[in-house]
Structure 1
Amino acid sequence: MKTITWKIHLKSNPNDVFDLLVTSEGRSKFWSEKATEEDGVIHFLFPNGQTYDGRILKKVHNKEFHLDYFDSVVKFQLEQAENDGTDLTLINENVPESNFLEVHAGWISVLMNLKAVADFQCDLRNHDPKRTWNQGYADN
């Protein structure tokens, strides 16, 4: 098992970034087509039709958000940065070696779209089920 760590700086404040992570509406703006929450479980639906039910493991307002994600643990850590911005660290633990390269690259796609949505109110995804990660599209 391996661990992935990425950092990204956002000009948006931690409160706005946290809302994108912890709300169904926020997650659907940058991460998956749908990401509704019920009883502490997020029901993800992705453009290629794949689904996953991830349990929320920890939520600390404007600071941390952890969840079970495809049988691994994903941690989002937010830190107040200068000029009211946010330094976000994503840590994905227990990633199987066989999936590491795809997951490692996949998080870049998710984080860059998070930045586009948070800082520029722009969704970079194509939302086309015929043009997904499975077909080699980075803008899935």
Structure 2
Amino acid sequence: MRGDRPGGPIRWRMHLPVPPEAVFAALDSDDGRAAFWAESAVERDGRIEFVFACGVRFAARILERRAPRRFAVDYLGGPAVFELAGDGDGGTELLLTHEGVPDAQWHEVHAGWLNVLFPLKAWVVHGVDLRNHDPRRSWDQGYADQ
């Protein structure tokens, strides 16, 4: 987000013209996360096992879930917190804040969140998956539509 500085918190805002309950459901369910975030993202014992198209796997501990307002995971070095607020017109104002990202990964993670947020919006608003699901065309090869 404008004003973010390398090494500091990463912040992104997004407006989604659907209620916070719909956004929270996508973040808080295995099928929801698999529809926009990773090839699979199954929760077991309070941890989400993310599996990405390029083959990368890692587990993220769920730090907080307060439906339909707040969802947080320990993700790539620190807490990633999704705060959801109603916009007064039936939509959602989303604020993502990710702290603790190592300096060497900050720029990639900062940009990478857009590759989560835009697919989230496409999924919850239109039911469309923007990702290509091709391990030969992943983030590691420079593709934004992994």
User: TM-score of the superposition, structure 1-length normalised?
Assistant: 0.97
2:33 aligns with: 27
1:92 aligns with: 98
Structure 1 residue corresponding to 2:89, chosen from 83, 108, 112 = 83
Instruction: Provide the C-alpha distance between the structure 2 equivalents of 1:71 and 1:96, rounded to a whole number of angstroms.
Output: 7
Structure 1 residue corresponding to 2:110, chosen from 86, 100, 104 = 104
What is the CA-CA distance between 1:2 and the residue it aligns to?
Answer: 2.2
Instruction: Provide the C-alpha distance between the structure 2 equivalents of 1:116 and 1:67, rounded to a whole number of angstroms.
Output: 22
Q: Count residues with an aligned counterpart.
A: 140
Structure 1 residue corresponding to 2:47, chosen from 36, 41, 52 = 41
Give the SS at the match of 2:137.
coil
| 2:77–2:102 Cα contact (<8 Å) kept | no
Gap runs ≥5 in structure 2: 1-6
Q: Which has the higher helix share?
A: 1
Instruction: Provide the C-alpha distance between the structure 1 equivalents of 2:94 and 2:41, rounded to a whole number of angstroms.
Output: 20
2:122 aligns with: 116
Instruction: Provide the C-alpha distance between the structure 1 equivalents of 2:58 and 2:80, rounded to a whole number of angstroms.
Output: 14
Deviations 1:39-84 (A, max 9, x none): 1110000111001101101110100001111221100000011321
Gap runs ≥5 in structure 1: none
Identity of aligned residues (%): 44
Counterpart amino acid of residue 137 in structure 2 = R
| 1:2–1:96 Cα contact (<8 Å) kept | no
RMSD: 0.8
Residues 1:136 and 2:142 are matched in the alignment: yes
- Give runs of ≥4 in structure 1 deviating > 2 Å: none
